[in-house]
Amino acid sequence: MKLLSRFLLILLTIFTLACGGRLISKEEAKKNALIITEKLNADNINTFRKWNFRYRGGEIWTKKVDDSIIFNCYYRKENDTTSLVVSNRYLISKEFPCSIEVDTSLFGAYTFNKLNNGTITVKATLNNKGRDTLLFQNLKVEDVFKTEDLFRKIDSLSKLKDELKVYRIDYLKRNGDFIDFYITARDILTFIGDESTLKPKQIWLDNFAEGTEIAPKWNLRHFDEDQLD
């Protein structure tokens, strides 16, 4: 079991590095960055003040209010199944749109599987025996998510992310009103909504000065290997 766990961890690490560490030329990175500036603007970019994204063996979407995490959601599409995995701590959040009642004290995580026919099964995972437990099956989307179809929401975010060709999106309000889009681990495109909100202002201005303004409010920075933390 330990060998299997180590093997899976190695695979996850390789996958993560592959997504963020892909090598493209600076010219290609700039081309991708310009496409992002054309697809996003001051109006529709607000989505990423609420939703952050990164790869950790799959897609992880984080819904936030200011800098407070409302919930994290692991998203995966495989064959005829779309899966959302949520930990028990976020399932009990009033902001999580789940309408079914589950005992969150018994399990560490819950998996919502949606089949192509639209039906949903719910499994509890990560109990003390390491087994999955089937809780519900053959549910309709409206039975599970009455206020907001979380499958549809995350799917739309995932498709937009694919169009932007990024592997990570970060927004921290406490640092200022700017959003980082990681084209690669070395190429970061930043939307700067309001320079007056930068904290500490001069440090961030100096940081952005190392890059290039490729469009109004858009800054592209390239880091060589020795500049990375």
**Phi then psi dihedrals of residue 173, to 5 deg:** -60, -35
- Given this model, what pLDDT does residue 92 score? 81
**15 falls within a domain:** no
- Which amino acid is located at 131 in the chain? R
CA nearest to 190, candidates 202, 175, 200 = 175
Task: Write phi, then psi, for 95 (nearest 5 degrees).
Answer: -85, -20
Q: Do the Cβ atoms of 159 and 175 come closer than 8 Å?
A: no
Q: What is the pLDDT of residue 130?
A: 67
Distance CA 45, CA 220 (A): 17
Q: What is the predicted pLDDT for the residue at 14?
A: 41
Using pLDDT thresholds of 50, 70 and 90, give the confidence band for residue 13: very low
Q: How far apart are CA 199 and CA 194, in angstroms?
A: 11
What does the pLDDT look like over 48-98, one tens digit per residue? 999 999 998 889 999 999 899 999 999 999 999 999 999 998 988 878 899
What is the tally of structural domains in the chain?
1
pTM for the model: 0.85
Residue 16, domain member (yes or no): no
Please check whether residue 7 lies inside any domain of the structure.
Answer: no
Structural domain includes residue 180: yes
pLDDT at 95: 83
Q: Give the chain's mean pLDDT.
A: 88
Average pLDDT, stretch 22-28?
Answer: 85
- Position 74 in a domain: yes
Judge whether 209 lies within some domain.
yes
Could you list the residue range(s) of the whole structural domain that residue 170 is in?
A: 23-227
Give domain status of residue 119, yes or no: yes
User: Where residue 228 falls among pLDDT bands split at 50, 70, 90?
Assistant: low
In this predicted structure, what is the pLDDT of residue 189? Answer: 99
Task: Categorize the per-residue pLDDT at 1 as very low, low, confident or very high, splitting at 50, 70 and 90.
Answer: very low
Task: Name the pairing type of β-strands 212-215 and 218-222.
Answer: antiparallel
- 127 occurs within a structural domain: yes
